[in-house]
Amino acid sequence: MRSFLFVFFFCFIFAQASSAEPCKKFQEYTVLPTHESGKDKSFTEFKKKLDQAIQSKDIKFLEKIVDPDIKFSFGADSGKKGFWTEWKLDKNPEKSEIWTTLANTLRLGIVRDETNQFISPTIFSKFPDKLDAFEYTWASGKNVNVREKPDVQSKIIDTISYQIVQLDSKEAIQSGTCSWQKVCLASGKSGYICDTYLRSSVDYRAFFTLKNKDWKLTIFVAGD
């Protein structure tokens, strides 16, 4: 009888714990990618050429737009020569990761600031001031699946679009083609998102500044 009561009590407690919210709720934030290139005619034309250059891996165009004093790290290094070396553009430019990294940055929106600079992606400029950029991240897509377990076959517990989520664990779990990050949603639900669909607000960002009537890439850096 005692064994039965113990098992019943344990199952009751487990059921209660399972139905409880695994995360603390927080204010919901949705940050939609905004594309403000059209606010400046000259930048609109520049952006079209830039997109074409990235697609065709046009090294001559990139060399033309990279500012001589470009900032690409938080160390002492700066300038075009260091940038070229950092991204291995001096050896085999077609295989450089700069093209994919720039494309993935620019597709997530671009914002014009009060100094008339254009900054990409949107999340860098619009990330909520109240949140810690290293504790929270951004679901950078529409209808992103949140799964019960770190597996593409796992049950979908929610679907979110461009929402801020809290990192529940700093270490990702590798499974299949995804590195799965455990996250907490604003609603209090906890689940896993493939890191392909997550973007830190302090990941790579690009700053474009008008200098002598030419648009220049003046900053391309990640971190804080």
Q: At the fourth CATH level, which superfamily is domain 136-199?
A: SH3 Domains (2.30.30.40)
Q: What is the mean pLDDT of the chain?
A: 90
Quick check: 74 pLDDT over 90? Answer: no
CATH architecture of 37-127+204-221: Roll (3.10)
* Residue 8: other Cβ atoms inside 10 A: 10
Whether the pLDDT of residue 107 is over 60: the answer is yes
Residue with the bigger pLDDT between 53 and 17: it is 53
Give the pTM.
Answer: 0.87
How do residues 124-157 score in pLDDT, each as one tens digit?
999 999 999 999 999 999 999 999 999 999 999 9
H or E element, residue 48: helix 41-56
Does the pLDDT at position 89 exceed 60?
yes
158 in helix, strand or coil? Answer: strand
Comparing 12-16, 62-66, 181-185, the range with the smallest average pLDDT is 12-16
Domain ranges of the chain: 37-127+204-221, 136-199
Q: Label residue 114 left, alpha or beta by phi (over 0 means left) and psi (-120 to 50 means alpha).
A: alpha
Per-residue pLDDT averaged across 91-95, rounded? Answer: 93
Contacts of 143 (CB under 8 A, 6+ apart): 159, 160, 161
pLDDT digits (tens, 9 = 90+) for 149-205: 999 999 999 999 999 999 998 788 998 889 999 999 999 999 999 999 999 999 999
Same CATH topology for 37-127+204-221 and 136-199? no
